[in-house]
Structure 1
Amino acid sequence: MRMTLARFLTAPLTALAGIGLLASPAHSAATGYDSTTRYVAMGDSFSAGLGAFGADLDCGRGPNSYPSLWAKAHGITSFTDVTCGGAVTEDVLAEQVQGLSADTDIVTITIGGNDAAWGDKVMTCMSGDSACTTAINQAVADMPATAAKLNSTYAAIRQAAPNAEVYVLNYPMLFEESAGCSAWIVPNQFQRKEINRFGRALNQAIATSAAQAGFRYVDAQPHFAGHAVCSSQAWIHPILNLTALHPNDDGYRLGYLPALTSATG
Protein backbone atom coordinates (compact mmCIF):
# COMPACT_ATOMS: atom_id res chain seq x y z
CA MET A 1 0.00 0.00 0.00
CA ARG A 2 1.31 3.43 -0.90
CA MET A 3 1.39 5.33 2.35
CA THR A 4 2.14 8.70 0.73
CA LEU A 5 0.47 12.06 1.15
CA ALA A 6 0.13 12.59 -2.58
CA ARG A 7 -2.04 9.51 -2.99
CA PHE A 8 -4.49 10.56 -0.33
CA LEU A 9 -7.27 8.42 -1.73
CA THR A 10 -5.26 5.36 -0.92
CA ALA A 11 -4.03 5.66 2.61
CA PRO A 12 -4.03 7.64 5.87
CA LEU A 13 -3.13 11.33 5.54
CA THR A 14 -1.22 11.73 8.75
CA ALA A 15 0.47 14.97 7.90
CA LEU A 16 -2.25 16.86 6.02
CA ALA A 17 -3.59 14.71 4.73
CA GLY A 18 -27.09 6.67 -14.31
CA ILE A 19 -24.71 6.34 -17.15
CA GLY A 20 -24.00 2.83 -18.43
CA LEU A 21 -25.49 -0.46 -19.50
CA LEU A 22 -25.32 -3.91 -18.02
CA ALA A 23 -23.25 -6.20 -20.20
CA SER A 24 -24.57 -9.76 -20.48
CA PRO A 25 -25.22 -10.32 -16.76
CA ALA A 26 -25.10 -13.79 -15.31
CA HIS A 27 -27.65 -12.80 -12.67
CA SER A 28 -30.14 -9.96 -12.93
CA ALA A 29 -30.96 -7.63 -10.04
CA ALA A 30 -34.58 -8.72 -10.39
CA THR A 31 -33.75 -12.30 -9.38
CA GLY A 32 -31.76 -11.23 -6.34
CA TYR A 33 -28.54 -12.59 -4.90
CA ASP A 34 -27.78 -15.32 -2.39
CA SER A 35 -25.01 -17.44 -0.94
CA THR A 36 -24.26 -18.90 -4.37
CA THR A 37 -23.49 -15.49 -5.90
CA ARG A 38 -19.79 -15.05 -6.60
CA TYR A 39 -18.82 -11.45 -5.85
CA VAL A 40 -15.43 -9.76 -6.28
CA ALA A 41 -14.75 -6.30 -4.88
CA MET A 42 -11.98 -4.29 -6.55
CA GLY A 43 -10.49 -0.83 -6.28
CA ASP A 44 -8.67 1.59 -4.00
CA SER A 45 -9.12 2.76 -0.41
CA PHE A 46 -12.61 4.14 -1.09
CA SER A 47 -13.65 0.59 -2.00
CA ALA A 48 -11.61 -0.99 0.78
CA GLY A 49 -13.25 1.01 3.56
CA LEU A 50 -10.16 2.72 4.89
CA GLY A 51 -12.07 5.39 6.80
CA ALA A 52 -14.54 3.01 8.45
CA PHE A 53 -14.23 1.17 11.76
CA GLY A 54 -12.29 -2.08 11.65
CA ALA A 55 -10.11 -1.37 8.62
CA ASP A 56 -6.90 -3.39 8.67
CA LEU A 57 -3.39 -1.97 8.59
CA ASP A 58 -2.42 -3.65 5.35
CA CYS A 59 -4.78 -2.54 2.59
CA GLY A 60 -7.30 -0.65 4.70
CA ARG A 61 -9.95 -3.32 4.14
CA GLY A 62 -12.68 -3.68 6.70
CA PRO A 63 -16.12 -5.06 7.51
CA ASN A 64 -17.78 -1.66 7.09
CA SER A 65 -16.71 -0.96 3.52
CA TYR A 66 -19.47 -0.72 0.95
CA PRO A 67 -18.54 -4.10 -0.62
CA SER A 68 -18.63 -5.86 2.75
CA LEU A 69 -21.90 -4.21 3.76
CA TRP A 70 -23.51 -5.03 0.41
CA ALA A 71 -22.36 -8.65 0.50
CA LYS A 72 -23.71 -9.09 4.02
CA ALA A 73 -27.04 -7.44 3.16
CA HIS A 74 -27.50 -9.83 0.24
CA GLY A 75 -26.46 -13.02 2.03
CA ILE A 76 -23.39 -13.46 -0.15
CA THR A 77 -20.76 -15.75 1.31
CA SER A 78 -18.65 -16.26 -1.82
CA PHE A 79 -17.03 -12.84 -1.46
CA THR A 80 -13.51 -12.07 -2.68
CA ASP A 81 -12.12 -8.70 -1.59
CA VAL A 82 -9.04 -7.61 -3.54
CA THR A 83 -9.42 -3.89 -2.81
CA CYS A 84 -6.38 -2.09 -1.48
CA GLY A 85 -5.51 1.38 -0.31
CA GLY A 86 -2.91 2.80 -2.66
CA ALA A 87 -4.30 1.11 -5.75
CA VAL A 88 -3.99 2.73 -9.14
CA THR A 89 -5.25 1.19 -12.36
CA GLU A 90 -1.86 -0.45 -12.87
CA ASP A 91 -2.34 -2.34 -9.60
CA VAL A 92 -5.76 -3.50 -10.69
CA LEU A 93 -4.29 -4.84 -13.93
CA ALA A 94 -1.25 -6.44 -12.29
CA GLU A 95 -2.86 -7.92 -9.18
CA GLN A 96 -6.58 -7.47 -8.64
CA VAL A 97 -7.77 -8.87 -11.95
CA GLN A 98 -6.40 -12.22 -10.84
CA GLY A 99 -9.33 -12.48 -8.45
CA LEU A 100 -11.77 -12.70 -11.37
CA SER A 101 -12.90 -15.66 -13.43
CA ALA A 102 -15.60 -16.71 -15.86
CA ASP A 103 -17.61 -17.81 -12.81
CA THR A 104 -17.65 -14.33 -11.26
CA ASP A 105 -21.21 -12.97 -11.06
CA ILE A 106 -20.76 -9.50 -9.56
CA VAL A 107 -17.89 -7.03 -9.63
CA THR A 108 -17.73 -3.61 -7.96
CA ILE A 109 -14.92 -1.11 -8.33
CA THR A 110 -13.93 2.45 -7.44
CA ILE A 111 -10.63 3.42 -9.07
CA GLY A 112 -8.99 6.39 -10.78
CA GLY A 113 -8.54 8.92 -8.01
CA ASN A 114 -4.94 7.96 -7.42
CA ASP A 115 -4.15 7.90 -11.12
CA ALA A 116 -5.38 11.48 -11.30
CA ALA A 117 -3.40 12.40 -8.15
CA TRP A 118 -6.33 13.92 -6.26
CA GLY A 119 -4.25 14.24 -3.11
CA ASP A 120 -1.72 16.42 -4.89
CA LYS A 121 -4.51 18.71 -5.98
CA VAL A 122 -5.74 19.18 -2.41
CA MET A 123 -2.27 20.07 -1.18
CA THR A 124 -1.61 22.45 -4.06
CA CYS A 125 -4.94 24.18 -3.61
CA MET A 126 -4.24 24.81 0.06
CA SER A 127 -1.03 26.62 -0.91
CA GLY A 128 -2.91 29.46 -2.63
CA ASP A 129 -5.82 30.34 -4.92
CA SER A 130 -3.77 31.00 -8.04
CA ALA A 131 -1.78 27.79 -7.70
CA CYS A 132 -5.02 25.95 -7.08
CA THR A 133 -6.70 27.14 -10.26
CA THR A 134 -3.62 26.41 -12.33
CA ALA A 135 -3.38 22.89 -10.94
CA ILE A 136 -7.06 22.14 -11.42
CA ASN A 137 -7.11 23.52 -14.95
CA GLN A 138 -4.16 21.30 -15.84
CA ALA A 139 -5.70 18.28 -14.14
CA VAL A 140 -8.95 18.69 -16.04
CA ALA A 141 -7.01 19.06 -19.29
CA ASP A 142 -5.09 15.88 -18.48
CA MET A 143 -8.21 13.86 -17.63
CA PRO A 144 -8.20 12.00 -20.99
CA ALA A 145 -5.02 10.25 -19.84
CA THR A 146 -6.83 8.96 -16.75
CA ALA A 147 -9.76 7.93 -18.93
CA ALA A 148 -7.43 5.91 -21.15
CA LYS A 149 -6.17 4.03 -18.10
CA LEU A 150 -9.74 3.38 -17.00
CA ASN A 151 -10.61 2.07 -20.46
CA SER A 152 -7.76 -0.44 -20.34
CA THR A 153 -8.69 -1.50 -16.83
CA TYR A 154 -12.35 -2.02 -17.61
CA ALA A 155 -11.46 -4.00 -20.74
CA ALA A 156 -9.27 -6.31 -18.65
CA ILE A 157 -12.07 -6.79 -16.14
CA ARG A 158 -14.49 -7.76 -18.89
CA GLN A 159 -12.00 -10.19 -20.37
CA ALA A 160 -11.33 -11.84 -17.01
CA ALA A 161 -14.99 -11.91 -15.94
CA PRO A 162 -17.00 -12.17 -19.18
CA ASN A 163 -20.26 -13.12 -17.47
CA ALA A 164 -20.24 -10.67 -14.58
CA GLU A 165 -22.37 -7.65 -13.84
CA VAL A 166 -19.87 -4.85 -13.24
CA TYR A 167 -20.79 -1.82 -11.14
CA VAL A 168 -18.47 1.18 -11.24
CA LEU A 169 -18.92 3.49 -8.27
CA ASN A 170 -17.57 7.04 -8.32
CA TYR A 171 -16.22 9.37 -5.61
CA PRO A 172 -18.16 11.75 -3.39
CA MET A 173 -17.24 15.42 -3.40
CA LEU A 174 -14.91 16.03 -0.46
CA PHE A 175 -16.00 19.51 0.61
CA GLU A 176 -19.14 21.53 1.04
CA GLU A 177 -18.87 24.77 -0.92
CA SER A 178 -20.80 27.09 1.40
CA ALA A 179 -18.95 30.07 2.84
CA GLY A 180 -18.88 28.92 6.45
CA CYS A 181 -16.87 25.94 7.64
CA SER A 182 -16.49 24.69 11.19
CA ALA A 183 -13.73 22.21 10.36
CA TRP A 184 -10.23 23.12 11.47
CA ILE A 185 -7.56 23.53 8.78
CA VAL A 186 -9.56 23.38 5.59
CA PRO A 187 -9.27 24.91 2.11
CA ASN A 188 -11.06 28.23 1.77
CA GLN A 189 -14.35 28.45 -0.10
CA PHE A 190 -12.74 29.19 -3.47
CA GLN A 191 -10.31 26.30 -3.07
CA ARG A 192 -13.07 23.91 -2.04
CA LYS A 193 -14.99 24.76 -5.18
CA GLU A 194 -11.93 24.18 -7.32
CA ILE A 195 -11.19 20.82 -5.67
CA ASN A 196 -14.78 19.76 -6.26
CA ARG A 197 -14.49 20.90 -9.90
CA PHE A 198 -11.68 18.41 -10.23
CA GLY A 199 -13.80 15.74 -8.54
CA ARG A 200 -16.68 16.28 -10.94
CA ALA A 201 -14.34 16.05 -13.95
CA LEU A 202 -12.91 12.80 -12.59
CA ASN A 203 -16.37 11.34 -12.04
CA GLN A 204 -17.39 12.30 -15.56
CA ALA A 205 -14.37 10.49 -16.95
CA ILE A 206 -15.26 7.43 -14.87
CA ALA A 207 -18.86 7.56 -16.06
CA THR A 208 -17.92 7.84 -19.72
CA SER A 209 -15.40 5.00 -19.55
CA ALA A 210 -17.85 2.79 -17.68
CA ALA A 211 -20.51 3.39 -20.31
CA GLN A 212 -18.10 2.59 -23.11
CA ALA A 213 -17.24 -0.69 -21.38
CA GLY A 214 -20.90 -1.61 -20.99
CA PHE A 215 -20.67 -1.39 -17.21
CA ARG A 216 -23.19 0.14 -14.83
CA TYR A 217 -22.11 3.51 -13.48
CA VAL A 218 -23.28 4.15 -9.91
CA ASP A 219 -23.34 7.79 -8.85
CA ALA A 220 -22.83 7.97 -5.09
CA GLN A 221 -22.66 11.75 -4.92
CA PRO A 222 -26.44 12.37 -4.55
CA HIS A 223 -26.39 10.19 -1.44
CA PHE A 224 -23.46 12.16 0.02
CA ALA A 225 -24.89 15.60 -0.79
CA GLY A 226 -24.83 17.83 2.27
CA HIS A 227 -22.47 15.52 4.15
CA ALA A 228 -19.00 16.49 2.94
CA VAL A 229 -16.31 18.15 5.06
CA CYS A 230 -17.65 21.47 6.42
CA SER A 231 -21.18 20.13 6.89
CA SER A 232 -22.72 19.75 10.36
CA GLN A 233 -23.07 16.00 9.75
CA ALA A 234 -20.00 15.13 7.72
CA TRP A 235 -19.63 11.64 6.29
CA ILE A 236 -16.09 12.45 5.14
CA HIS A 237 -13.23 12.56 7.63
CA PRO A 238 -11.65 16.01 8.06
CA ILE A 239 -8.07 16.74 7.10
CA LEU A 240 -6.76 16.33 10.66
CA ASN A 241 -7.57 12.64 10.84
CA LEU A 242 -5.57 9.47 10.27
CA THR A 243 -7.93 8.60 7.43
CA ALA A 244 -8.35 12.14 6.15
CA LEU A 245 -10.81 12.83 3.36
CA HIS A 246 -12.15 9.28 3.25
CA PRO A 247 -15.75 8.29 4.04
CA ASN A 248 -16.48 7.42 7.65
CA ASP A 249 -18.86 4.68 8.79
CA ASP A 250 -21.91 6.80 7.93
CA GLY A 251 -20.43 7.50 4.51
CA TYR A 252 -20.32 3.81 3.72
CA ARG A 253 -23.56 2.85 5.44
CA LEU A 254 -25.71 5.82 4.40
CA GLY A 255 -23.88 6.97 1.28
CA TYR A 256 -22.19 4.24 -0.72
CA LEU A 257 -24.36 1.29 0.34
CA PRO A 258 -27.70 2.89 -0.68
CA ALA A 259 -26.15 4.05 -3.94
CA LEU A 260 -25.03 0.53 -4.82
CA THR A 261 -28.25 -1.05 -3.61
CA SER A 262 -30.30 1.33 -5.74
CA ALA A 263 -28.48 -0.03 -8.78
CA THR A 264 -28.41 -3.71 -7.87
CA GLY A 265 -31.62 -4.14 -5.93
Structure 2
Amino acid sequence: MGKSRRRALSGLAALGAAALMVGGGAAPSPATPAERYVALGDSYTSAPGVPRQIDADCARSDRNYPSLTARSIGAASFRDVSCGGATTAEMWRSQRSNPSQLTAVTKDTTLVTVQIGGNDIGFGEIMSTCGSLGATDPGGAPCTAHYTAGGTDVLADRIAGAAPLVEKVLDAVHARSPRARVYVLGYPPILPESGP
Protein backbone atom coordinates (compact mmCIF):
# COMPACT_ATOMS: atom_id res chain seq x y z
CA MET A 1 0.00 0.00 0.00
CA GLY A 2 1.27 3.42 -0.94
CA LYS A 3 2.23 6.25 1.31
CA SER A 4 -0.62 8.43 -0.02
CA ARG A 5 -3.22 5.92 1.10
CA ARG A 6 -1.73 5.77 4.58
CA ARG A 7 -1.29 9.54 4.60
CA ALA A 8 -4.93 10.10 3.56
CA LEU A 9 -6.23 7.88 6.32
CA SER A 10 -3.84 9.33 8.87
CA GLY A 11 -4.93 12.76 7.71
CA LEU A 12 -8.56 11.90 8.32
CA ALA A 13 -7.72 10.92 11.88
CA ALA A 14 -5.67 14.11 12.24
CA LEU A 15 -8.60 16.10 10.85
CA GLY A 16 -10.75 14.79 13.67
CA ALA A 17 -8.04 15.50 16.23
CA ALA A 18 -7.46 19.01 14.86
CA ALA A 19 -11.16 19.71 14.93
CA LEU A 20 -11.29 18.58 18.54
CA MET A 21 -8.54 21.03 19.47
CA VAL A 22 -10.09 23.89 17.48
CA GLY A 23 -13.57 23.13 18.78
CA GLY A 24 -12.51 23.25 22.41
CA GLY A 25 -13.25 19.64 23.32
CA ALA A 26 -13.07 18.78 26.98
CA ALA A 27 -11.77 15.73 28.75
CA PRO A 28 -14.38 12.99 29.10
CA SER A 29 -16.55 13.16 32.17
CA PRO A 30 -19.13 10.72 33.49
CA ALA A 31 -22.62 10.87 32.04
CA THR A 32 -25.39 12.34 34.10
CA PRO A 33 -28.76 10.60 34.48
CA ALA A 34 -30.37 13.38 32.43
CA GLU A 35 -27.93 13.17 29.50
CA ARG A 36 -29.45 14.46 26.25
CA TYR A 37 -27.27 12.99 23.52
CA VAL A 38 -27.13 13.88 19.81
CA ALA A 39 -24.93 12.05 17.27
CA LEU A 40 -23.89 13.81 14.05
CA GLY A 41 -21.87 12.23 11.27
CA ASP A 42 -21.38 10.27 8.09
CA SER A 43 -21.33 6.54 7.29
CA TYR A 44 -18.57 5.85 9.81
CA THR A 45 -21.12 6.94 12.40
CA SER A 46 -24.32 5.56 10.84
CA ALA A 47 -22.77 2.10 10.23
CA PRO A 48 -24.22 0.91 6.91
CA GLY A 49 -24.51 -2.84 6.62
CA VAL A 50 -24.51 -3.39 10.38
CA PRO A 51 -27.75 -5.13 11.36
CA ARG A 52 -30.39 -3.84 12.20
CA GLN A 53 -30.75 -0.94 9.79
CA ILE A 54 -33.32 1.52 11.13
CA ASP A 55 -33.08 4.23 8.45
CA ALA A 56 -32.61 2.99 4.89
CA ASP A 57 -32.08 6.52 3.51
CA CYS A 58 -29.08 7.05 5.75
CA ALA A 59 -27.94 3.44 6.20
CA ARG A 60 -28.18 3.89 9.98
CA SER A 61 -27.91 0.96 12.36
CA ASP A 62 -29.33 0.62 15.84
CA ARG A 63 -25.99 -0.98 16.76
CA ASN A 64 -23.71 1.85 15.67
CA TYR A 65 -21.44 3.46 18.25
CA PRO A 66 -23.91 6.28 19.10
CA SER A 67 -26.70 3.79 19.83
CA LEU A 68 -24.40 1.64 21.95
CA THR A 69 -23.11 4.73 23.75
CA ALA A 70 -26.63 6.01 24.46
CA ARG A 71 -27.61 2.66 25.95
CA SER A 72 -24.37 2.38 27.91
CA ILE A 73 -24.71 5.80 29.55
CA GLY A 74 -28.47 5.52 30.04
CA ALA A 75 -29.16 8.73 28.13
CA ALA A 76 -32.47 10.38 29.00
CA SER A 77 -32.90 11.27 25.32
CA PHE A 78 -31.01 10.29 22.20
CA ARG A 79 -31.10 11.52 18.59
CA ASP A 80 -28.87 9.86 16.01
CA VAL A 81 -29.06 11.90 12.81
CA SER A 82 -25.90 10.50 11.22
CA CYS A 83 -26.24 9.68 7.54
CA GLY A 84 -24.12 7.76 5.07
CA GLY A 85 -22.62 10.05 2.45
CA ALA A 86 -22.92 13.16 4.63
CA THR A 87 -20.49 16.01 4.20
CA THR A 88 -20.13 19.03 6.43
CA ALA A 89 -22.76 20.73 4.22
CA GLU A 90 -25.42 18.28 5.46
CA MET A 91 -25.07 19.79 8.89
CA TRP A 92 -27.02 22.75 7.45
CA ARG A 93 -29.04 21.22 4.60
CA SER A 94 -31.32 18.23 4.20
CA GLN A 95 -29.97 14.96 2.87
CA ARG A 96 -32.50 12.91 0.93
CA SER A 97 -35.60 12.78 3.18
CA ASN A 98 -33.70 13.77 6.34
CA PRO A 99 -33.52 17.32 7.70
CA SER A 100 -30.21 19.05 8.34
CA GLN A 101 -28.29 17.31 11.09
CA LEU A 102 -27.82 20.45 13.19
CA THR A 103 -31.58 20.73 13.74
CA ALA A 104 -31.22 17.91 16.28
CA VAL A 105 -28.90 20.00 18.47
CA THR A 106 -30.86 22.23 20.85
CA LYS A 107 -30.13 24.34 23.92
CA ASP A 108 -31.10 21.31 26.02
CA THR A 109 -28.53 19.00 24.39
CA THR A 110 -25.83 18.00 26.88
CA LEU A 111 -23.67 15.62 24.81
CA VAL A 112 -22.78 15.68 21.10
CA THR A 113 -20.54 13.36 19.11
CA VAL A 114 -19.32 14.51 15.69
CA GLN A 115 -17.57 12.39 13.06
CA ILE A 116 -17.51 14.25 9.75
CA GLY A 117 -15.06 15.34 7.04
CA GLY A 118 -14.19 12.13 5.20
CA ASN A 119 -16.67 12.74 2.39
CA ASP A 120 -15.54 16.36 2.13
CA ILE A 121 -12.12 15.14 1.02
CA GLY A 122 -13.54 12.45 -1.28
CA PHE A 123 -12.88 9.39 0.88
CA GLY A 124 -14.89 7.05 -1.38
CA GLU A 125 -13.12 8.24 -4.50
CA ILE A 126 -9.73 7.95 -2.79
CA MET A 127 -10.39 4.37 -1.70
CA SER A 128 -11.69 3.40 -5.13
CA THR A 129 -8.79 5.03 -6.95
CA CYS A 130 -6.16 3.58 -4.64
CA GLY A 131 -7.75 0.14 -4.76
CA SER A 132 -7.73 0.14 -8.56
CA LEU A 133 -4.21 1.51 -8.80
CA GLY A 134 -2.94 -0.90 -6.16
CA ALA A 135 -4.15 -3.85 -8.22
CA THR A 136 -1.96 -2.69 -11.11
CA ASP A 137 1.21 -2.50 -9.02
CA PRO A 138 0.78 -4.45 -5.74
CA GLY A 139 4.41 -4.04 -4.66
CA GLY A 140 4.73 -0.38 -5.59
CA ALA A 141 3.16 2.88 -4.54
CA PRO A 142 0.88 3.85 -7.45
CA CYS A 143 -1.56 5.65 -5.18
CA THR A 144 1.21 7.88 -3.86
CA ALA A 145 2.34 8.60 -7.39
CA HIS A 146 -1.21 9.45 -8.46
CA TYR A 147 -1.96 11.84 -5.59
CA THR A 148 1.46 13.54 -5.64
CA ALA A 149 1.88 13.87 -9.41
CA GLY A 150 3.26 17.26 -10.34
CA GLY A 151 4.84 17.79 -6.93
CA THR A 152 1.60 18.62 -5.08
CA ASP A 153 0.22 16.38 -2.35
CA VAL A 154 -3.44 16.51 -3.34
CA LEU A 155 -4.62 14.59 -0.28
CA ALA A 156 -2.81 16.88 2.16
CA ASP A 157 -4.40 19.85 0.39
CA ARG A 158 -7.86 18.28 0.63
CA ILE A 159 -7.44 17.59 4.34
CA ALA A 160 -6.23 21.13 4.98
CA GLY A 161 -9.24 22.43 3.04
CA ALA A 162 -11.69 20.36 5.08
CA ALA A 163 -10.38 21.41 8.51
CA PRO A 164 -12.11 24.84 8.48
CA LEU A 165 -15.37 23.15 7.41
CA VAL A 166 -15.23 20.87 10.44
CA GLU A 167 -14.40 23.87 12.62
CA LYS A 168 -17.56 25.63 11.36
CA VAL A 169 -19.62 22.57 12.31
CA LEU A 170 -18.19 22.63 15.83
CA ASP A 171 -18.82 26.37 16.13
CA ALA A 172 -22.45 25.80 15.08
CA VAL A 173 -22.88 23.00 17.63
CA HIS A 174 -21.50 25.21 20.40
CA ALA A 175 -23.73 28.12 19.31
CA ARG A 176 -26.84 25.91 19.46
CA SER A 177 -25.93 24.24 22.74
CA PRO A 178 -23.23 26.21 24.58
CA ARG A 179 -23.12 23.90 27.60
CA ALA A 180 -22.96 20.61 25.70
CA ARG A 181 -19.86 18.46 25.86
CA VAL A 182 -18.74 17.87 22.28
CA TYR A 183 -16.57 14.94 21.25
CA VAL A 184 -15.00 14.73 17.80
CA LEU A 185 -14.16 11.27 16.56
CA GLY A 186 -11.51 10.67 13.93
CA TYR A 187 -11.51 7.89 11.39
CA PRO A 188 -9.99 4.51 12.23
CA PRO A 189 -6.83 3.43 10.45
CA ILE A 190 -7.78 0.80 7.90
CA LEU A 191 -4.38 0.38 6.25
CA PRO A 192 -1.08 -0.66 7.82
CA GLU A 193 1.37 2.04 8.91
CA SER A 194 4.13 0.51 6.80
CA GLY A 195 4.58 -1.90 3.97
CA PRO A 196 3.71 -1.78 0.29
Q: Which amino acid aligns with 1:144?
A: A
The size of the alignment, in residue pairs, is 158
- Deviation at 1:29? 1.7
Q: Find the counterpart in structure 1 of residue 154 from structure 2.
A: 138
Which residue identity lines up with residue 169 of structure 1 in the other structure? L
> Which fold has the larger relative contact order, with Cα–Cα distance below 8 Å and residues 6 or more apart in sequence?
2
Question: 2:178 pairs with 162, 165, 170, which one?
Answer: 162
- AA of the residue aligned to 2:105: L
TM-score, with structure 1 as normaliser: 0.54
- Asked if the contact 1:121–1:132 (Cα under 8 Å) also holds between the matched residues in 2, the reply is no
C-alpha deviations, 1:137-176, integer Å up to 9, x for none?
3111232211121111111111111110000011111223
Q: Deviations over 1:42-88 (max 9, x none)?
A: 11111112242212322111111000001001111410111111110
Aligned CA RMSD, in angstroms, stands at 2.3
1:38 aligns with 2:36: yes
CA distance 1:71–1:131, change in 2 (3 Å): closer
Alignment match of 1:98 (pick from 80, 103, 108): 103
Do 1:41 and 1:80's aligned partners in 2 also have CA atoms closer than 8 Å? Answer: yes
- 2:88 equivalent in structure 1: 89
Q: Distance in 1 between matches of 2:39 and 2:130?
A: 32
What residue in structure 1 maps to residue 12 of structure 2? none
Partner AA of 1:119 in structure 2: G
**What is the one-letter code of the residue matched to 1:133?**
A
**Cα gap change, 1:116 to 1:82, in 2 (>3 Å):** same
| CA distance in structure 1 between the partners assigned to 2:65 and 2:101 by the alignment | 17
4+ residue stretches of structure 1 with deviation over 6 A? Answer: none
**Corresponding residue for 2:6?**
none
Residue 124 (structure 1) aligned to one of 107, 116, 129: 129
Please give the TM-score of this superposition, normalised by the length of structure 2. 0.72
Distance 2:164 2:193 in 1: 30
CA deviations over 1:77-108 (Å, ceiling 9, x no partner): 41011111111000012211111111110000
CA distance, structure 2, for counterparts of residue 121 and residue 68 of structure 1 = 29
Aligned letter for 1:135? Y
Percent identity over the alignment? 34
SS in 2 for 1:120: helix
Amino acid in structure 2 at the alignment position of 1:145: G
Range with greater deviation from structure 2 (64-73 or 133-142):
133-142
Q: Partner of 1:76: helix, strand, or coil? A: coil
Give the distance between the partners of 1:177 and 1:100, measured in 2 at CA: 36
Matched, 1:47 2:45: yes
Aligned to 1:213: none
Q: How does 1:1-265 map to 2 (within 5 A)?
A: 20=21, 21-22=24-25, 29-30=29-30, 32-34=31-33, 36-56=34-54, 57-94=56-93, 95-128=100-133, 129-135=141-147, 137-176=153-192, 190=196
Unaligned 5+ residue runs, structure 1?
1-17, 179-188, 191-265
- Equivalents in 1 of 2:193, 2:158: separation in Å? 24
CA distance in 1: counterparts of 2:65 and 2:86, whole angstroms: 17
Report deviation, 1:177.
5.4
Secondary structure of 1:50's counterpart equals coil
Structure 2 residue runs of 5 or longer lacking an equivalent are 1-16, 94-99, 134-140
